Structure 1
Amino acid sequence: MNEQHIISQCQRWVEDIVVDLNFCPFAKKEVINQTIRYQVGSDLDNEQALTLFAEELAHLQNHSDVETTLLILADGFSFFDDFMQLVDLAQQWIKMSKLEGIFQIATFHPDYCFADVSEDDVSNYTNRAPWPILHILREESMSRAVDVHPDPEGIPERNIALCEQKGRQFFVEYLASLHQQK
């Protein structure tokens, strides 16, 4: 599968799920302003993925017109536990690079599973995506957005309630439809 097709799938997911279902009330502005960078890494091991992650951090530091990056890991991290090991390494990279307080990571994965729920719990779909994704966010921008939101603490609960309302089958079929696109 080519990179542009993978990016198109993720863009559609951002628009249909993240924005249209309002999973992230801050995303719509970035979609409209086209300030989201989508980058694909294929056939990577941890070291290669961390190198690409570091390159994306540098890109964000050098390009203030880009608000956020979705680093899509097309191959190599299909197992959720492997992906979470990479997330831990990426968090360590931010700390070692003295970028704490500047960047933070949100994570998405086709098999995302919160620690306190079963794999088939519908709440996991708040963080399920068509591909494993390291979402690099500017912490200052997130802080500003959260400061003006009327109920930022209520966002996760609202998202879980929406997932329960839509039902697991809705999300299963939606994500499957993205992979059937030509």
Structure 2
Amino acid sequence: MTTPTNPTTASSSGNHTTADPASTAIARTRQWVDKVVIGLNLCPFAKSVQVKGQVRYVVSQAHHEKALLQELARELILLADADPQEIDTTLLIVPDLLADFLDFNDFLAECDDVLEAMNLVGILQIADFHPRYQFADTEPDDMGNFTNRAPYPTLHLLREDSIDRAVQAYPQAEAIFERNIEVLEKLGLPGWQALLQDEPASKPQP
């Protein structure tokens, strides 16, 4: 396999004032987390780890899928070995690959294969976000799709233990998705665009 280039990383507490693409990707993703995920309370568990600086933001430098899988494997190992008080979760941001949602969706099966090959099933899991995310049997602009729309294709690496603790602390966790759709439908497309008016890439594509 080709040796991948090193991804750009940052803790959730870093400031990114430079204009290089990796810093921009991290800044835009952090803003999406703050304004959308936390701001709309789409994930009740996100604020705590963000405030504590336990979110690892990583920008992939991969330009082909094989290199991205190598980066994913490296990040899975790092998260599994890290102290949860230091790194609880990782967002692997992919600016240069998988812009087509169907390609991204197909790629997720390979991600699951990596997780299984590394014997990390039941320890870690991979959630996914995409600027053109679309659930089955929906129209592209259905607001329910926006629960999983991020500025870039993104692989979210989570600890199963953290998920279990969060669910125990939030006994109505199964109702979160339905509540999120209600919030987004009330917000509407104009509200979403206003919320991320300085995030043009996160707006729905025509």
- The bucket for the TM-score relative to the shorter chain is over 0.9
Matched AA of 1:56:
E
Within a 5 Å distance, the mapping from 1:1-182 to structure 2 comes to 1-64=20-83, 65-175=86-196, 177-179=198-200
RMSD value, Cα: 1.4
Percent sequence identity over matched residues?
38
* Distance in 1 separating the partners of 2:59 and 2:41: 24
Cα offset, 1:170, TM superposition: 2.1
Runs of 4+ aligned structure 1 residues displaced above 3 Å come to 172-176
Matched AA of 1:66:
I
Contact 2:127 2:156 in 1 (8 A): yes
* Distance in 1 separating the partners of 2:34 and 2:162: 20
Cα offset, 1:31, TM superposition: 0.6
SS in 2 for 1:177: coil
Gap regions ≥5 residues in structure 2? 1-19, 202-206
* Distance in 2 separating the partners of 1:115 and 1:50: 25
TM-score, normalized by length of structure 2? 0.83
Matched AA of 1:154:
A
TM-score, normalized by length of structure 1? 0.94
Cα offset, 1:43, TM superposition: 4.5
- Structure with higher helix content: 1
* Distance in 1 separating the partners of 2:106 and 2:61: 17
* Distance in 2 separating the partners of 1:102 and 1:40: 23
Matched AA of 2:141:
D
* Distance in 1 separating the partners of 2:125 and 2:137: 23
Contact 1:104 1:137 in 2 (8 A): yes
Q: Which moved more, 1:133-142 or 1:58-67?
A: 58-67
* Distance in 1 separating the partners of 2:24 and 2:68: 20
* Distance in 1 separating the partners of 2:149 and 2:54: 22
Contact 2:130 2:149 in 1 (8 A): yes
* Distance in 2 separating the partners of 1:44 and 1:169: 34
Q: Which moved more, 1:86-95 or 1:28-37?
A: 86-95
Q: Which moved more, 1:14-23 or 1:170-179?
A: 170-179
Contact 1:36 1:68 in 2 (8 A): yes
Contact 2:93 2:152 in 1 (8 A): yes
CA change 1:42–1:173 in 2 (3 A) is: farther
